[in-house]
Amino acid sequence: AKNLVAVAVNNQTGVATVTLQRPPVNSLNLELLNELSSALTELEEKKARGIILKSSSDSVFSAGLDIHEFSNTEEGRLKKFWTALQDVWIKLYGHSAPTVACINGHAPAGGCLLALSCEYRVMLKQKTIGLNETKLGIVAPLWFIASMENVIGRRLTELSLTTGKMYTTEEALKIGLIDEIAEDTNDAVSKSENFLKLFQNISPFARSQTKKFIRGNTVQSLVKTREADLKAFIDDITSEKVQKGLKVYMESLKKGK
Ligand code: CO8
């Protein structure tokens, strides 16, 4: 199997760098999500002292879900795909280790979701981030919305999602969607590492238990409704209206060149 996710652990600090590497845009397909999910489990078991999630490209962090998965007709694959995304979110959102998104590129939709699932966001200047689902004629699930709401609040989440707004790095900082701006990837990595240094003298138990108290309800809201969420996704995405809209969107992406 191809390595779509690379994990490198610094033995001195215990910090793991998890790099998404599926060129050109790190779109999240089933295989990448499965690898990311396994990596997160392994880092849970190994008691990693921190996770930095980044991209191998410095142009795109992740273009979000691989739109080709939405029209995949292979038996059962759509179900596996959505279940893998649920798994990744549950593991990342609730991870015991402190997590930083090193957003070294654009982060639309599912890319933004990954970033929102971390505890801190450092982003390259002159990129874009947001939950733009409505622009594709699709509806962000409740747990996407909760992830955003927990960072920027309900009012801005409503405005952002209904309009499908993509924020520039500079705008994102202003509304608290990201925490720091970086000049380049090296700078972004070092700022991510600096955030994790805050926990050097904090008990991992006290830290992770506090995070669990704060995030537990949000995670449980999906854990308890996974089946219904899966069914809603499959019903929506396979509907004729949505399929037509996605086709138009993909064509407009190509024409944008
Ligand atoms: N999936 C599949 N292919 C993609 C995706 C994607 N998400 N994004 C880009 N690509 C493809 C492009 O079509 C292009 O293919 P080709 O070379 O064959 O023409 C190639 O990747 C490179 O793309 P660009 O030339 O556009 O690359 P740029 O570096 O110029 O731009 C961007 C990068 C900014 C990431 C740009 O590609 C972009 O905006 N992509 C669209 C991102 C997007 O809207 N993603 C939404 C995905 S949906 C999602 O994540 C959540 C769904 C929630 C579920 C809802 C339930 C109903």
Nearest CA to ligand 1 atom 19: 254
Of 20, 25, 117, 145, which is best to mutate to test ligand 1, by the most ligand atoms within 8 angstroms of its C-beta? 25
CA dist 216 and 69 (Å) reads 30
Residue (of 182, 200, 176) closest to 55 by Cα position: 182
The burial class, CB within 10 Å (0-12 / 13-18 / 19+), for 213 is: exposed
**pLDDT for the residue numbered 257:** 67
Instruction: Flag whether pLDDT at 206 surpasses 80.
Output: yes
pLDDT digits (tens, 9 = 90+) for 165-188: 999 999 999 999 999 999 999 999
Q: Are strands 99-103 and 120-124 parallel, antiparallel or unpaired?
A: parallel
pLDDT of res. 146? 98
Ligand 1 geometric centre to CA of 72 (Å): 16
pLDDT in tens, 9-30: 999 999 999 999 999 999 999 9
Q: Report the separation in Å between the CA atom of 231 and the middle of ligand 1, taken as the mean of its atom positions.
A: 24
What's the whole-model pTM score? Answer: 0.98
Structure token pair of residue 181:
């701006």
Identify the band that residue 1 occupies on the pLDDT scale cut at 50, 70 and 90. low
How many angstroms separate the Cα of 248 from the Cα of each of 78, 100, 253?
Answer: 21, 34, 9
Task: Quote the ligand 1 centre to 194 CA distance (angstroms).
Answer: 31
pLDDT digits (tens, 9 = 90+) for 219-228: 999 999 999 9
- Answer yes or no: CATH 3.40.50.720 is held by domain 5-197: no
Q: What is the pLDDT of residue 73?
A: 78
Q: How far is CA 243 from CA 69, 135, 138, 206, 211, in A?
A: 12, 13, 10, 47, 39
